[in-house]
Amino acid sequence: MGFSFFIRGPVWFFGIDGVFEGLAFIVALLLAIYAYRAYKLTHDKRFSLYALSFLAITLGQGIRAVTDLLMHSNLENELPYIAFLPHLQSTPLLFTAGYFLHILFMLLGLMILSCYAMKVKDIKVFCVMAFSLLPLMLLVTSVYLAFHYLGLLFCAFIAYSYWKYWCTKKIRPTCLVFIGFLFMALSYVQFLADTVFRVLYISAHLTQLAGYLCLLAALFMVLRK
């Protein structure tokens, strides 16, 4: 069972990735706030779903940022229960729990957006999908690969849905949403490939942050109207 996690990417980047996760947390929080404001202004149900999904993503990014920074602090202080290895390192239970919660909230947020894109209106369907996440994460051989594979599927499907909508309506915010989720899908591709090319772990964080910023710009454009 792949329930343990590992330090990934170049050793010198560890700790810096916590800063990127912190920036992603701030942008995701802004997305949740502005989506809620858009809902209050327009009473459009889709913005309430955006607010809920990005609230879950905000929690996921926040937990990941804190976990990464705590891990980095422990490594700097050379605590006895962490034996630093040159490349990869298994994490203790506390940090494993942090990464697992990060994955759970991230996938829940993306699942809400995917259900909206698929026009799933039955709450029972969403509940079945949501409650299947826990056993799935416990049974797979690699939680890391399973998470990023599912993230890629969700983001690619959402991007495709918005691309189709943009082709018919040609609305600029919709185009930005499409680009944002496309960037997020590409970031998951890079996370999956970082086992072969470790430098992709760095570019994956940059691409993911660019995706969040595109989504934030799209919400700004909606609120300005």
Q: Which domains does the chain have, with CATH numbers?
A: 11-224 (1.20.1070)
Report how far residue 128's alpha carbon sits from residue 139's, in angstroms, rounded to the nearest whole number.
Answer: 17
Q: Which of 57-61, 69-73, 217-221 has the highest mean pLDDT?
A: 57-61
pLDDT score, position 76: 52
For residue 49, count other CB atoms closer than 10 A to its CB. Answer: 16
73-112 confidence digits (pLDDT tens): 665 555 443 444 333 344 566 677 788 888 889 999 998 8
Q: Are 142 and 2 in contact (CB under 8 A)?
A: yes
pTM of the predicted structure, to 2 decimals: 0.82
Report how far residue 35's alpha carbon sits from residue 220's, in angstroms, rounded to the nearest whole number.
Answer: 9
Report how far residue 63's alpha carbon sits from residue 70's, in angstroms, rounded to the nearest whole number.
Answer: 10
Q: What backbone phi and psi angles, to 5 degrees, belong to 6? A: -135, 150
Asked whether the predicted pLDDT for residue 5 surpasses 70, the reply is no
21-55 confidence digits (pLDDT tens): 888 899 999 999 988 888 888 888 778 888 999 99
Residue with the bigger pLDDT between 11 and 205: it is: 205
Q: What is the mean pLDDT of residues 1-14?
A: 58
pLDDT score, position 13: 72
148-168 confidence digits (pLDDT tens): 899 999 999 999 999 998 888
Sign (positive/negative) of CA torsion 44, 215, 196, 4? Answer: negative
Report how far residue 87's alpha carbon sits from residue 155's, in angstroms, rounded to the nearest whole number.
Answer: 29
Q: Are 68 and 33 in contact (CB under 8 A)?
A: no
Closest listed residue to residue 202, CA positions, set 4, 14, 5, 6: 14
CA angle 10, 12, 14 (to 5 degrees): 80
Report how far residue 114's alpha carbon sits from residue 119's, in angstroms, rounded to the nearest whole number.
Answer: 8
Asked whether the predicted pLDDT for residue 4 surpasses 60, the reply is no
